């Protein structure tokens, strides 16, 4: 009976909805179920394909190697561009990171 709870009635068998607490382990278990199912499905698929696979009579044509080289170069240049764009921020982060270590290493007079 909802009205009894709202008016402070003595018939309270469970805490109100806003006071219910779930244990973190239950949440963690529920949040890990989907990734674990996906990982196990992927592993099973890979095992089946490796076991039941046949010999492939195929080759890589010369265009494939140049395409892979192009992907590698684009990745490297993209990473360098990203570093260039955020250089000042990265510089501040590293400066703060290493300056804290230097202050901790200094001997204290006392």
pLDDT of residue 75: 96
Contact 6, 18 (CB under 8 A): no
Residues 71 and 98 in one domain: yes
For residue 3, tell me if it sits in a domain.
Answer: no
Hey, what are 87's tokens?
Answer: 């250089």
Q: What pTM was computed for the model? A: 0.35
- Condensed to tens digits (0 to 9), the pLDDT of residues 63-99 reads 888 999 999 999 999 999 998 998 888 888 888 888 8
Q: What residue numbers bound the domain in which 36 lies?
A: 23-52
For residue 9, tell me if it sits in a domain.
Answer: no
Measured between alpha carbons, how far is 17 from 7 in angstroms, rounded to an integer?
A: 15
């Amino acid at each position: 009976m909802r009205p009894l709870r709202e008016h402070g009635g003595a018939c309270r068998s469970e805490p109100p909805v806003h006071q219910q607490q779930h244990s973190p382990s239950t949440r963690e278990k529920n949040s890990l179920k989907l990734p674990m199912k996906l990982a196990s499905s992927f592993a099973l698929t890979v095992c089946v394909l490796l076991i039941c696979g046949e010999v492939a009579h195929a080759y890589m044509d010369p265009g494939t190697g140049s395409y892979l080289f192009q992907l590698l170069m684009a990745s490297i240049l993209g990473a360098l561009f990203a570093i260039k764009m955020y250089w000042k921020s990265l510089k501040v982060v590293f400066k703060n990171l290493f300056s804290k270590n230097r202050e901790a290493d200094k001997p204290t007079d006392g």
